A and B are shown apart, each in its own frame.
Chain A
Amino acid sequence: MKNIRVIARLDIKAPNVVKGIHLEGLRKIGNPNELALRYYEQGADEIIYMDIVASLYNRNSLEDIVRDTTRDIFIPITVAGGIRSVEDARNLLNAGADKIAINTAAIKDPNIIREISQTFGSQCMVISIEAKKQGDKKWEVYYDNGRERTGIDVIEWVKKAYELGAGEVLLTSIDKEGTKKGFDIELVKAVSEAVPIPVIASGGLGKKEDFSKVVYEGQADAVAIGSVLHYNQMTIQDIKQDAYSNGINIRRMDYA
């Protein structure tokens, strides 16, 4: 069985990490670098920085945060939010990011997926999708953090993004995001089956069991976790320990 990655997701409204429910009602959590360091030390396999107001205000504030992170955190960093061009992507990669996740800009012009994957490699190009359930096994693509709808079907969109060169999917369920009520398993499964690239399930982890469920039933390749870490309800060790005891391969820290 493949190794499943545990990813700490930090939503940023510069200069702070914030957290809402259904991507709304944001509360200030703390300093991005301090939190990222805490999760790195707990055994996070990757960090995602998501600038959740960047596309709203047409700005990009993450470069400095990423640059500071590379001082004491030595795991892959994905940056999302407000990236609109190859140049934006290049600046973030030069600041120490390893992967770039695109949502709004790709909806407005899907060619950016091809441009970024051809310039930096598809391993670098993550398609970020905000999905909202519309009925039985139907999900619609949203953007601007769940504020705007597109009328586009999630499954159609992820297939197109893959064909254009996306190398990974960051899949956020707006319905579950911040609720700690478990993942939208059907959504994760439908996307995992639609494309042969890794899928990061995001939005909903509240209990340790939710992790195993989204891996076994949803076929997630990686799981992004926010709320329960930020509110100190559990640590990455807790989640990994539980996953491991359920037979899931994860990176262990205790061999060192």
Chain B
Amino acid sequence: MRIVMELTLGGWIMLNIKIIDYGIGNLLSVIRAFEYLDVRAELAKVPEELKYADAIILPGVGAFEKGMQGLVNSGFYETIIEYAKKGLPIMGICLGMQMLMDESYEFGVHKGLGLIPGKVVPIQSTTIDGEQHKIPHIGWNELILPEQKVEEWDKTILSGLTQRNSVYFIHSYTAMPIESRYRLADTLYGGRRLSAVIRNGNIYGCQFHPEKSGQVGIDILSNFINIAKK
């Protein structure tokens, strides 16, 4: 039996989780979700602050091109790639997940971080029955296993979850990894599969917002914390 020693200080779990702050979006909700789990996640405004991080969060809202420009201009681009090469845990959220991919077709073709092979494309405007449906895909939707189930959720950020647990999505584009082995969970929108959680080793991407997905989202972040402790 392995005994995990948990170091705490003033009630906080001693873990160095950094949220990349490259000038976009509301990051308070992400900070608060970690606080709720007794982890003090701090904003990193310059790449040097990632040096001793046990894990990093790459958040994001808005357009892909603008997000990537933000990463490049702030100098995070290379640092994130170096960090990933060391096998340390990364979680991309929403646009942050899409930026993990090779490239995006949102308003032209734009290069991503290339940490998970594949591309980002628009969600199809029709359902599987050919009817128009609403884009963006906004609201709660269920996590399901990918078509070709390649791995169990156990020991991943989805550990302990069951199919049909719902999480909160808000997006118009969707990440399509080149191989199904990078897909950990999908969701159905208009009868079509969209990737919900992607994974390449310790690099995870969530298309939904775990910090806005109730207890299920909190459980996902808690699993990520456990991965960061190792």
Contact between A74 and B62, CB atoms less than 8 A apart:
no
Contact status A197-B140, CB under 8 Å: no
Q: Does B36 lie within 8 Å of A71, measured CB to CB?
A: yes
| Nearest CB in chain A: distance from B131 CB, A | 11
Those of B116-170 within 8 Å (CB) of chain A: 132-134, 136, 138-141, 162-166, 168, 170
- B35 neighbours in A (Cβ, 8 Å): 71
Q: Are B29 and A70 in contact (CB under 8 A)?
A: yes
Task: Find the residue from A94, A121, A251, A255 having the highest chain B CB count within 10 A.
Answer: A251
- Complex partner residue of B26 from A5, A96, A255, CB under 8 angstroms: A96
B87: which A residues are within 8 A, CB to CB?
none
With an 8 A cutoff between CB atoms, is B5 at the interface? no
C-alpha gap A3/B134 in the complex (Å):
12
Total inter-chain residue pairs, C-beta < 8 Å: 82
Contact B62 A75 (CB under 8 A): no
Residues of chain A contacted by B166 (CB below 8 angstroms): 3, 251-252, 255
* Residue from B133, B164, B166 whose CB has the most chain A CB atoms within 10 Å: B166
Q: Which of B9-17, B100-108, B199-207, B213-221 contacts A (4 or more CB under 8 A)?
A: B213-221
Q: Are A76 and B134 in contact (CB under 8 A)?
A: no
Q: Which of A151-208 contact B (CB under 8 A)?
A: 167-168, 196-198
CB distance from A102 to the nearest CB of B (A): 18
Q: Which of B164-198 contact A (CB under 8 A)?
A: 164-166, 168, 170
- For the complex, is A123 an interface residue (Cβ under 8 Å from B)? yes
The reply to whether B164 and A74 contact each other, CB–CB distance below 8 Å, is no
B28 CB–A CB distance under 8 Å: yes
Asked if A130 is at the interface (CB within 8 A of a chain B CB), the reply is: no
Chain B residue numbers with a CB within 8 Å of A2 are 133-134, 139
Hey, which chain B residues are within 8 Å of A93, CB to CB?
A: 26
Residues of B within 8 A of A95 (CB): 28
| A5 and B33 within 8 A (CB) | no
Given A71-B35, A74-B33, does the pair A121, B139 have CB atoms closer than 8 Å? no
Cβ contact within 8 Å between A74 and B214: yes
Name the residue of chain B whose CB is nearest to the CB of A124. B61
Query: Cα distance A256–B36 when bound, in Å?
Result: 19
A140 at the interface (CB under 8 A from B): no
B125 to chain A, nearest CB (A): 11
B212 within 8 A of A: yes
Does B42 sit at the interface, judged by CB under 8 A?
Answer: no
A5 close to B61 (CB less than 8 A)? no
Chain A residue with minimal CB distance to B61? A121
A144 at the interface (CB under 8 A from B): no
CB neighbours (8 Å) of B133 from chain A are 2
- B-side contacts of A168, CB under 8 Å: 138
Contact check, B136 vs A96: say whether CB atoms are below 8 A apart.
Answer: no
- Provide the bound-state CA to CA distance between A45 and B169, in Å: 12
- The verdict on A67 contacting chain B, using a C-beta distance below 8 Å, is yes
Known: A70-B29, A93-B26. A40 touches B140 (CB 8 A): no
Q: State in angstroms the CA–CA spacing of A80 and B135 once bound together.
A: 23
Q: Is the CB of A256 within 8 A of B165?
A: yes
Query: Does A115 reach chain B (CB closer than 8 Å)?
Result: no
Q: Is A72 an interface residue (CB 8 A)?
A: yes
Interface residues of B (CB under 8 A from A): 26, 28-29, 32-33, 35-36, 61-62, 132-134, 136, 138-141, 162-166, 168, 170, 211-218
Chain A residues packing against B (C-beta within 8 Å)? 2-3, 5, 40, 45, 67, 70-72, 74-76, 93-98, 120-121, 123, 167-168, 196-198, 221-222, 251-253, 255-256
Q: List 27 A-B contacts (CB under 8 A).
A: A2-B133, A3-B140, A3-B141, A40-B214, A70-B28, A70-B32, A71-B32, A71-B35, A71-B36, A74-B36, A74-B214, A74-B215, A74-B217, A76-B212, A93-B26, A95-B28, A97-B26, A121-B62, A196-B132, A196-B134, A198-B138, A221-B134, A251-B140, A252-B164, A255-B164, A256-B165, A256-B215
